[in-house]
Chain A
Amino acid sequence: MSNRCSIRMIGFVAVFALLFATHASAAPGKIVIGHPACLSGKYAKAGEQAIGGIKACVDWVNKVYGGVTVGGKKLPLEYKYYDCESKKEAVTSLISRLITVDKVDCIFAPYSSGLTLRGAPVAESHKMLYMDHGGANNKIFRQGFQYIVQTIGPASRYHEGTLDMIHKVDPHAKRVALAYEDSEFAKMVMAGAEEHAKKLGFKIVFKRTYPKGVTDLTPLLSALKAAKPDIVIGGGHFEDGQLFNRQMADLDINANALSLIAAATLPAFYKALTGMAEGVMGPSHWEYGVKYAPEEAKKVGLPWIGPSQDEFVNLFKKALGKDIIPDYHAAEAGAAVLALVMGIEKAGSVDSDKVRRALGDLEFMSFYGGWDVDDTGLQVGHSMVDVQWQGGKRVIVWPAEAQTGKLYYPMPTFAEKAKGKLAVPK
């Protein structure tokens, strides 16, 4: 009786173990991306773009690419997101929820360096892959996180192209003014710009920060005016960028070049400022019109994945149900989806450790451009472009290989702009 009972028991345990093992080793039916998205709050605009970009690429992967190949099976991608209201507290709780309740396979970080940094330790504690598409601050990658991978380019390189371009076009321009938002991201951009400017022989004649949520830059700009700079570079996010340009116009501060991060590349910037934005530049991770294509990838020996630029734009419009051209926030979020797909296929698994290792060895090109990360997960393979407003249109003016038009230099004065002068080269 005792023996029978033991045999039954062993049999029961064996069957249970077999069932469990079968379940554990079975490939998942789908791959779920979790995202604490900025649907509302101060990053709502960038958040909406990111959602559109992710949805567009998820759609492409599922319908055109046929799914993600894992263990010989094609698995569909699923995208699950909640509104983090652009708030740090919500980011941490939503990441926990996505991992523990929704059982997602990967977390996409929210927009901005601050929110990305806030969420990183939570993803890290769950040993979950954390795809950073909108957090450019280099400091994120100096914290020793193991599971973070960046798609957006690092902040320290934002203004390198701008300075290189002006150095080439006007070697006599020497006086640079730096005025950035007092945020981790913007200060990192400023440090990178200062270092690069000095390397090129520019003289920093003004260097100040202004607080987040600033509503009046008049005192700072009055001091900047007194420094008589040839080149003014700065900014932080959207609202302060508009304010910066507007109040420079109000105070008649004229420089040969004005380049603002984040704000200046968005259509809303010109819409709000109209002619005052003529000739203003901004660095961008991606712009509609860049010429990344499978042929170019072949030329540089990189594998290509993803939709073409126009396909992406159409999928983006369909995803958001709006007839708008995506900006770089959408493109970088979409490219992060493509990186994830390539990483999973290279790893042959959805396990975060394996995918993270695979992403470390990955190098590819998509509509977004090159993609490659270093050991810390920092993006090193993507080049930025510089955009200038010319006649109400965004024109890529740098680097030469990505140009869709020539640089207009020096920028018209604000008095000229008020009389209707456009920054269109002859």
Chain B
Amino acid sequence: MILEQLIGNLIQGLVLGAIYGMATMGLSLIFGVLRVVNVGHGAFIMVGAFIAWWLFSALGVIPILAIPVALVIGLALGFIFYYSVLRRLIKAPELASLLATFSIGVLLEETAKLIFGSEFRGYNWAVGKITLPMTVLPMTKLYACLGSVLIAVLLYIWFNKTRAGTAMRSVVEDSEGAKVCGVNVEGVYAMSFALGIGLTVVSGVLLTMFIPVGINPYMGGPYTLKAFVIAVLGGLASPYGAFFGGLVFGLIENGSYTLFAFLPGVEPFALTRFFSCMMLLVILLIRPTGLLRAK
């Protein structure tokens, strides 16, 4: 029984972890290239969630088809906020960009509240379930997981096989050197920020495929917190590390719950968080740059 529950929860954890990883890649990308900590990260996840909900509820568009829409909107938001706010703050003290991204987050939340209200929303895309011996997996969760993996692979290819990706990596390595080699560093900053936001907004869509309820303007908070933990776990400046970190985090979160549940007199969820943070500390002690070192 314990083993059955453990395996079931690990499968669920792996699926959720892929989405957590996807939701953190944007944060890591922005930090890796621009050295900007996007405190408003969760608000962009919320934007993606609202895009999925609105397209499905108002127009009947299935969430998978909402992904390209979310990517376009995310890229557009990224460029807008980069050129209107972040561009001026790249060389400013870190606190300035921290406050700026925090303000952008609040702006997005309050705008969403103005448009959609503060109600908790959800949608129901019923496409069946897979019943495994140890757990039940709705197809929407599986699609979300596969979508996350696919996007992570595409991002990997883009980074390693395209000129734009190579330029971006060169800026991560040494922005001054890249400039000397003729890389348009300013353009790379803008593209990285836009791509980071685009990925984050897309992750909002994928997240609603895993949890299609509780969509509201302030839903991003817990995800911001988790994304920071995962980003540090995987290596703050490494998008692939973030994805890997997400998988590990999902497995730890779900797997440890099952084990702690068998300890008498303890609330397993409370210990799960404790355990996740302990694991983070241990990993940082062993590998201060995270599981996958930033290149």
User: Chain A interface (Cβ within 8 Å of chain B)?
Assistant: 40-42, 44-45, 48, 182, 208-211, 213-216, 218-220, 222-223, 226, 238-240, 242-243, 245-247, 250-252, 263, 268-269, 271-276, 418
Docked Cα-Cα span, A245 to B124, in Å, equals 12
Cα-based distance from A219 to B5 in the complex (angstroms): 8
Instruction: Name the residue on A nearest B215 (C-beta).
Output: A272
Cα–Cα, bound, A243→B16 (Å): 15
User: Mostly helix, strand, loop or mixed at chain A's interface?
Assistant: helix
Partner of B213, one of A40, A45, A246: A246
> Would B5 and A272 count as touching, CB distance under 8 A?
no
B124 and A276: CB pair below 8 A? Answer: yes
**Chain B residues numbered 261-283 whose CB sits less than 8 Å from any CB in chain A:** 261, 267-270, 272-273
Interface stretch, picked from B69-77, B159-167, B218-226, B228-236, is B218-226
* Contacts from B to A (Cβ < 8 Å): 1, 5, 8-9, 12, 16, 110, 113, 117-124, 126, 129, 131, 135-136, 138, 141, 210-219, 221-223, 226, 253-254, 257-258, 261, 267-270, 272-273
Closest chain-B Cβ to A252's Cβ sits at a distance in Å of: 5
Is the beta-carbon distance between A222 and B223 smaller than 8 angstroms?
no
Contact assessment for B9 and A222 in the assembled complex, using a CB-CB cutoff below 8 Å:
yes
Interface pair A246/B212, CB less than 8 Å apart: yes
Question: A residues within 8 A CB of B226?
Answer: 215
Bound CA span A62–B8, Å: 60
Given the interface contacts A41-B218, A418-B126, does A273 sit within 8 Å of B213 by beta carbon?
Answer: yes
User: Could you list 10 further interchain pairs (A-B, Cβ under 8 angstroms) beyond the known A242-B122, A271-B122?
Assistant: A215-B223, A219-B261, A219-B269, A223-B258, A223-B261, A239-B120, A239-B214, A272-B122, A273-B122, A273-B124
Residues of chain A within 8 A (CB-CB) of B138 are 250
CA A263 to CA B141, docked complex, whole Å = 24
Docked CA distance A226–B8 (Å): 12
Known contacts A216-B211, A250-B129, A252-B129; decide if A242 and B120 are in contact (CB<8 Å). Answer: yes
Residues of A within 8 A of B113 (CB): 40, 44
CB distance from A397 to the nearest CB of B (A): 24
Q: Which residues of B contact A41 (CB under 8 A)?
A: 218
Cα distance, A242 to B120, chains bound together (Å): 8
Q: Is the CB of B121 within 8 A of A268?
A: yes
CB-defined contacts of A275 to chain B, threshold 8 Å: 124
Determine whether the beta carbon of A238 is less than 8 Å from that of B8.
no
Which of chain A's residues have a CB closer than 8 A to the CB of B257? 219-220, 223
Known: A182-B267, A209-B269, A222-B9. A44 touches B118 (CB 8 A): yes
The residue that B211 contacts in the complex, of A246, A263, A271, with Cβ under 8 A, is A246
Closest to B141 in A: A250
Complex: how many Å from CA A29 to CA B116? 40
- Which residue of chain B has its CB nearest to the CB of A46? B118
B118 partner residues in chain A, CB cutoff 8 A: 40, 44-45, 48
Which of B210, B213, B267 makes the CB contact (< 8 A) with A208? Answer: B267
Return the 6 tightest CB-CB contacts between A and B, nearest first: A272-B122, A44-B118, A219-B257, A242-B213, A239-B214, A213-B222
